[in-house]
Chains A and B, each alone.
Chain A
Amino acid sequence: MSNIKEPDPVFTKAIIDAGGKTLDLCYQCGTCTASCPSGRRTGFRTRQLIRKAQLGLKDDILPTEDLWLCTTCYSCVERCPREVEITDIITIMRNMAVKKGYMADQHKKIGASMMKTATTVPLSPENSALREKMGLPAVPPMAISDPKALEDFRTIMRKTGFDKLIGGA
């Protein structure tokens, strides 16, 4: 058995169609990898990820941890001489991975928090008390304190299917 993998143009095209139209501009100079703070401390190589995307090696991309090592810092995007929208391409592939069910439990929890309170973090009693001490309402005037707004927020997530994506919150 050889190690050579078959390119999959269908996957590449799906990335381009989803908005990654600059993907084929990459000429593999490696500036992105050299700029990447994540690649400095992990095995993550931006240039390699983009090459794999060009070849459509979806099984080498979608299930991997690498796809989630990017902090979306845009350093690579600022420096890429070909103006490849690297971060957007990574986002598109992350969306594809999530659709296939490759989603970390911690990330599902953030999704569930969005469904519950329309925020990513909880409000502790200490911070509520601090808010009041400063003359602010105990709970901020956001969806979290407004049942109608909260329901509207959830309606959107149900319409887009986000509730199912995170495992049915």
Chain B
Amino acid sequence: MSGKFGFFLGCVAPLRYPGIEKATREVFKALNYELVELEGAGCCPAPGVIKSFDEPTWLALAARNLAIAEKKGVDIMTICNGCYGSLFDANHVLHEHPEKLKEVNEILKDIGLHYSGKTKVRHFAEVLHNEVGMERIQAAVKNKLDLNVAAHYGCHFIRPSKIKHLDDPERPVLLDELIEWTGAHSLPYKDKNMCCGAGGGVRSRNSSLALEFTAEKLKNIKAAGGMYIIDVCPFCHLQFDRSQKDVKGYDIPVIHLAQLYGLAFGLPRSDLGLEAHEVKVNL
């Protein structure tokens, strides 16, 4: 084994696009990593909503998840920008503010848990890029993918860069490189870094505004010749995939990076769960 992580599932991947979960499990197995179950983990909790409603609740629920991983002695790996944003940021707050860690532990005491601050939080794409690396990934690619695709980074992956230090927040390359390692071509397109529109509780409270964001991204992706949208977040994934029945004139399949890697690694299609996608993926 080259290492292990606590696999944090989140909500949208396992419940709406289980193929993202399955593909991640298989891809990391192929790369010789062990993914440990974090049984009993709950919602990250969703930063745009729960943190917007009540920060102390957000912090305590996130700390519960961090404590579950700490008890197992593993770092957390997420497959969702929202989970990453929530758990990484909460961890940062708990490190910077010992008094908040104390408060949170007062709450966790009631459920027999304690968090001492040891868990690290990683995003699966960043793990693939920075830890697994190009050589091992290219060696695992069995199907070179000759596709023109549009990368969507999403907001909570590399931003806020001040605490994440993963890439240039204005001109990131991390995801484009990960895509290129499969043989696919990551296209430049207008306003590539723009939000999908779903975050911050906007999808649930004001879906028409969220849709306007998505429509603009779809327009720019189509204009650049993107055949597929590649994301690293099940929530952006859901927004792009489901919006295309409301924004007329688009038929661009949406593929999570774990699923793209599954295709490139030659996993059976039955392990990718593409049936759950609104926009059919004919690959």
Chain A residues with a Cβ under 8 A of chain B: 37-38, 41-42, 65, 68-75, 77-78, 83, 87, 91-92, 94-95, 98, 103-104, 106-107, 109-111, 114, 118-124, 126-127, 130-131, 133-136, 140-144, 146, 148-150, 152-153, 155-157, 159-162, 165-166
CA distance A83 to B162 in the complex (A): 10
CA distance A161 to B273 in the complex (A): 39
A-binding segment of B132-140, B174-182, B195-203, B252-260? B195-203
Inter-chain contact B276/A127, CB cutoff 8 Å: yes
Contact of A156 among B40, B107, B201, B206 (CB under 8 A): B107
Chain B residues with CB under 8 Å of A110's CB are 46, 49-50, 201, 204
Contact of B48 among A37, A71, A106, A152 (CB under 8 A): A71
B9 at the interface (CB under 8 A from A): yes
Give 1 or 0 for each of B249-275: 1 = CB within 8 Å of chain A CB. Answer: 000000000000000000000110101
CA distance A7 to B113 in the complex (A): 45
Inter-chain contact A118/B107, CB cutoff 8 Å: no
CA distance A44 to B57 in the complex (A): 28
Chain A residues with CB under 8 Å of B64's CB are 152-153, 156
Known contacts: A120-B49, A155-B110, A159-B110. The answer to whether A140 contacts B14 by CB under 8 A is yes
Give 1 or 0 for each of B184-220: 1 = CB within 8 Å of chain A CB. Answer: 0000000001110111111011100110110000000
Give 22 A-B contacts (CB < 8 Å), ordered by A residue: A41-B213, A65-B206, A68-B202, A73-B194, A73-B200, A74-B160, A77-B159, A98-B52, A107-B205, A119-B11, A127-B16, A134-B22, A140-B15, A140-B21, A142-B39, A142-B41, A143-B42, A149-B41, A155-B110, A155-B111, A162-B53, A165-B54
B-side interface residues, number (CB < 8 Å): 68
Inter-chain contact B209/A133, CB cutoff 8 Å: no
B79 at the interface (CB under 8 A from A): no
- CB of B37, distance to nearest CB on chain A (Å): 5
CA distance A166 to B193 in the complex (A): 34
- CB of B263, distance to nearest CB on chain A (Å): 15
